[in-house]
Amino acid sequence: MAGGLRTGDLVRAVVRAPSVKAGTYMGRLAVRATGSCNITTARQGVVQSIHVRHCRPLHRVDGYRYSTDPTAGTPSTGSGGGTVNVKNSTGGGASSPRRKAGASAPEIR
């Protein structure tokens, strides 16, 4: 953790000129102990050595991956474009590590 950000956070980094890395990047953060970080973006791939002071959090890591791509993750119930699909990063689709995929929990009354 550096500057209040953790690996996996979704961030926006605005790097000003005259830096070689000048530009705006948005993606997943990988923090190093030195305070610099890597940002994995959809367009540029991995952008290395961006200092954490340039990064602003958009979403804190919570164990899930979020996407605006309607084909990613689980099917959405919305009409597509712009919907947020959630996919559990542990995979498998089960709601518990001990429960088999497709099994449901007993109903509690």
Scored b (16 or more CB within 10 A) or e, 8-32 reads bbbbebebeeeeebeeebbbbbbbe
Q: What is the pLDDT of residue 39?
A: 93
Q: What total of structural domains would you count in the chain?
A: 2
Contact 59, 10 (CB under 8 A): yes
Residue 17 domain boundaries: 10-59
Task: State the average pLDDT over residues 58-73.
Answer: 74
Query: Considering the entire predicted model, what is its pTM?
Result: 0.57
Based on the domain organization, do 74 and 47 belong to the same domain? no
Q: Which residue has the tokens 């367009």?
A: 43
How large is the average pLDDT for residues 55-71? 78
Q: What is the mean pLDDT of residues 49-59?
A: 90
Please indicate, yes or no, if residue 107 is contained in any of the structural domains: no
Express each pLDDT in 25-48 by its tens digit: 999 999 888 888 999 998 889 999
73-108 confidence digits (pLDDT tens): 555 454 444 444 555 544 444 455 565 666 666 666
95 inside domain: no
